[in-house]
Structure 1
Amino acid sequence: MNKNEKILDVRDVPNWPKWLTLSLQHLFAMFGATILVPFLTNLSPAVALVSSGLGTLAYLLITKGRVPAYLGSSFAFIAPITGAMSAGGVEGAMVGSFLAGLVYGLISVLIRMFGLNWLMKILPPIVVGPVIIVIGLSLASTAVDMASNDADGNYSLTHLMIALVTLGVTIIATVFFRGFLNIIPVLLGITSGYLLALGIGLVDGSQVKAEWIELTSASGVGEFLTALFQVPDFVIPFADYNPLNVLTLNIVTIMVPIAFVTLAEHTGDQMVLSKVAGRNFLKEPGLHRSIAGDGIATIIASMLGGPPNTTYGENIGVLAITRVFSVFVIGGAAVLAILFGFTGIVTAVISAIPTAVMGGVSILLFGIIASSGLRMLTDNQVDLGDKRNLIISSVILVVGIGGASVKVPAFNLDLSGMALAALIGVILNLVLPGKEKGYGNGKMFEENEEIKENAEDSAA
């Protein structure tokens, strides 16, 4: 098969058996990473699956059914969600996620009007790259603690062994497996670690057993469906809490700045997706639409109690391998995710995953996040031998990873970690002379000139 040949184009509808199979592939590709985020932030994995599916469907509608992208839980928001929950509980994290989604909407309007260059002047590679590195490395201690400690927080060689096996299988699948198996290394790693932990008695299967007994003891179809499907633990504004009573300046400063950083990642995903599919999604339906879709998906998640959503590279990989670009296949995966979220036994299985297993895959995933920030610097050939670039990157890294903070009790303000690092990076980039050096070879800037022209063409 020619690598540029399309098996199914964007608007093609597959037959039912093929549709189900192809949609299941996308579900498996996103599953491991999507449930990891709520697992790390003490949110509901079932709600994350439902919000992921609903967010993807909303994204497909907003992009006029022309961008075959799946949206799952965003890793960039793990630390901010944890911080927001410390400041205002789950409700505080949801309010912050809602505001981050609004930022996406505002940015999409501005991009529709003026293109993307104004944003790149604020967030060039020398700022975004180190901030992404901070996002990954600030989570490093969490991954290591999960991998090496038991439920009581004590060091455990057994838990570490499980984590290393999980990590090893994930690495082997990533490097040596081919085809679809190469796209689901996280799911394969989690499954292997889960089975190992189950074999040595570290999995609490009581809830799974209870769900199974309830299913098998059902006497009729109605009773079976009642036992199979359960409503997840949604956290809904104005029903479970009043957002106005939760909103603080502290939550705003924790959550909102990260939205600007993930915008650069979103743009990169759209560029890669355009190359894979052989279409210019930046022009049609337009980057402003895809960003708006991402924002609406995050807003939907925040109104249900799920983590913010973002487009998934794993699913772009599935598109590249299968050459199936049908948005109906993506929509099918979204519907399956929603059904999984309402399936009680699936939720019980996910909840029983040992922390050591999640710690094992987290070691790799968090490192990949940090490495992607480094890649942004190298791809754009940013010269760190230049004093200006060296100063900006160094300050961002130490402030962000070191957990520096600015506290103003009178305004209930606590600007810390990556949010503070990003703000300082933006200020340094704007005030220090030689701004053009922050773009490196100008590759990102030149690409965004094309985006601006595309936006202007769409407006016309």
Structure 2
Amino acid sequence: MVLGWTKQGDGKHLAPGEVVRPDERLTWPRMVGFGAQHVIAMFGATFVFPLVMGLDPNVAIMMSGVATILFLLIVKGKVPSYLGTSASFVGGVIAIRALMGGDTPAADAIVTGAILVAGIVLALAGLAIHFLGVQVIHRIFPPVVTGAVVMLIGFGLAFVVADVYWPQDQWMALVTMAITFVVIVAFKGFIGRIGILVGLVAGFLLSWGVDKVFGNVTAFNAATGKIDTHPRVNLSSVAQADWIGLPSFHGPDIRFGAVLLVLPAVIALIAENIGHVKAVGEMTKTDVDPYVGRAVAADGIGTVVTSAVGGSPTTTYAENIGVMAATRVYSTAAYYIAGVIAILFGLCPKFGALVAATPGGVLGGVTVILYGMIGLLGAKIWVENRVDFADPVNMVPIGAGIILAIGPVEQIITEEFRLQGIAFGTIVVVGGYHLLRWIAGRPAEIRETAG
């Protein structure tokens, strides 16, 4: 069902063990709350990665909403997921800018042109998966590989917490994490299910209050890239931002040399999308295999649409899967609402500036929970499929790939082309597993992932 949801129970309460399925919903005010929580969950990375790539964050936020709605329509509402900015392209984009002279309008167009072509390739790969059948995926991504991809996607983001968010205010990160722990577990109703959002708002308000009472913090400042004394909550950009306005759109410029630098990211995105879809199927206890190809193609189409107007590449988001795991609310209604809110954010620079003012320490306290939950979903897939790690064919490439992702380890292929982190780990997991199976003389494993 693409649109239209049946109300789950009384629409207000979930009994122990109950979930809200993709085609169900709670009351609309509650669904708006869940939609807002999904926007908050994706906002940090979807806002930060365009900045790293030199692209307009407001365009990225707005177009992530458009891409998410397109994704839900293409998968017929069967796979609840949010499409935010992909980090897999960062290395390729930085290489392109190094060759094109940095952050110039011409380089912006070449970057988005390369991303657009990569999106087309990803969409074609999704169509191939859809028409050739899901057994192709089972052969390439058996449970041991699927679990590993899900795990390294979650744990591979640990460096973002450790190197970017936590150092900005370690005590506020710790307090925010503790508040979120308590809210999720102690409150059984609606408040508990939006515990991530509650923890983030509480951390924001506490940071503002601590600034007023105790003064500024001396710590790593993400804005300057060094340690200095600064307020935890800086609202200057909020005061300067307009209430209503369009982001800065621009068209793409396709150059073959630039395309080559970002194409390897497509491999990681295919595995990442499949891992996310499998994780959603695992949580919802539904067979999503018939929609895997659609999901990959939808992500590719989303990337094409966003990059056509100067936006960033998209991918299904681990942060939002983590929110679903915490809330047990898998309704696609929440994602449609999140998409609309994101589009409105793009039209309201002031509100976007307010959310972007969320202190890094607070984001650290929240994302450490979200990323960890995603990583453990990979372990859950292994347990339920009784993966045998006494077998070196399973243990060796999986262990190596996860460590490469967590590092994150960088492999310099040429001065212009590098693999690192999640992308590098994913390639080692998938390629290493199948290479060792071939060396061991074993046929391809086609057992389906449990769930």
Same fold (TM over 0.5): yes
Q: State whether structure 2 residue 134 is matched by structure 1 residue 116.
A: yes
* Unaligned runs of at least 5 residues, structure 2: 1-5, 12-19, 98-102, 212-230
What count of residue pairs does the alignment treat as equivalent?
A: 398
Do the aligned residues in 1 keep the contact of 2:62 with 2:346 (CA within 8 Å)?
yes
- CA deviations over 1:301-359 (Å, ceiling 9, x no partner): 333423514264367579965x9x686x7545432331122112211202222222222
Q: Pick the aligned partner of 1:237 from 251, 266, 269.
A: 251
1:198, distance to aligned residue in structure 2 (A): 1.0
Q: State whether structure 2 residue 430 is matched by structure 1 residue 431.
A: no
- CA deviations over 1:57-105 (Å, ceiling 9, x no partner): 2234434x5547352426xx43x24323432348476456545533442
Q: State whether structure 2 residue 423 is matched by structure 1 residue 393.
A: no
- Where does 1:34-433 land on structure 2 (aligned, <5 Å)? 34-43=42-51, 45-63=57-75, 66-67=77-78, 69-73=80-84, 77-78=86-87, 80-89=88-97, 91=108, 94=112, 97-99=115-117, 101-150=119-168, 159-201=169-211, 202=231, 203-211=233-241, 227-234=242-249, 236-238=250-252, 242-244=253-255, 247-253=258-264, 255-268=265-278, 271=281, 275=285, 286-303=291-308, 304-310=310-316, 312-313=320-321, 321=329, 331-402=336-407, 403-409=409-415, 412-433=416-437
1:115, distance to aligned residue in structure 2 (A): 0.9
Do the aligned residues in 1 keep the contact of 2:325 with 2:373 (CA within 8 Å)?
no
Q: Return the TM-score normalized by structure 2.
A: 0.74
Aligned to 1:223: none
Q: Counterparts of 2:322 and 2:144 in 1: how far apart (Å)?
A: 26
- CA deviations over 1:33-53 (Å, ceiling 9, x no partner): 110213442535533431222
1:195, distance to aligned residue in structure 2 (A): 0.8
Q: Counterparts of 2:9 and 2:399 in 1: how far apart (Å)?
A: 45
Aligned to 1:454: none
Q: Partner of 2:255: helix, strand, or coil? A: helix
Do the aligned residues in 1 keep the contact of 2:141 with 2:430 (CA within 8 Å)?
yes
1:282, distance to aligned residue in structure 2 (A): 5.3
Q: Counterparts of 2:263 and 2:47 in 1: how far apart (Å)?
A: 23
- CA deviations over 1:13-34 (Å, ceiling 9, x no partner): 99xxx75x35523421312211
* Unaligned runs of at least 5 residues, structure 1: 151-158, 212-226, 448-460
Q: Counterparts of 2:116 and 2:387 in 1: how far apart (Å)?
A: 34
1:383, distance to aligned residue in structure 2 (A): 0.8
Do the aligned residues in 2 keep the contact of 1:35 with 1:45 (CA within 8 Å)?
no
Report percent identity of matched pairs.
25
Do the aligned residues in 2 keep the contact of 1:127 with 1:392 (CA within 8 Å)?
no
Q: Quick check: 170-179 or 192-201, which moved more?
A: 170-179
Do the aligned residues in 1 keep the contact of 2:140 with 2:430 (CA within 8 Å)?
yes
Mark the CA change 1:391 to 1:99 in structure 2 (over 3 Å): closer, same or farther. Answer: farther
What amino acid maps onto 2:151 in structure 1? I
Q: Pick the aligned partner of 1:27 from 24, 27, 35.
A: 35
Structure with the largest fraction of helix: 1
1:147, distance to aligned residue in structure 2 (A): 4.1
Q: Partner of 1:228: helix, strand, or coil? A: coil
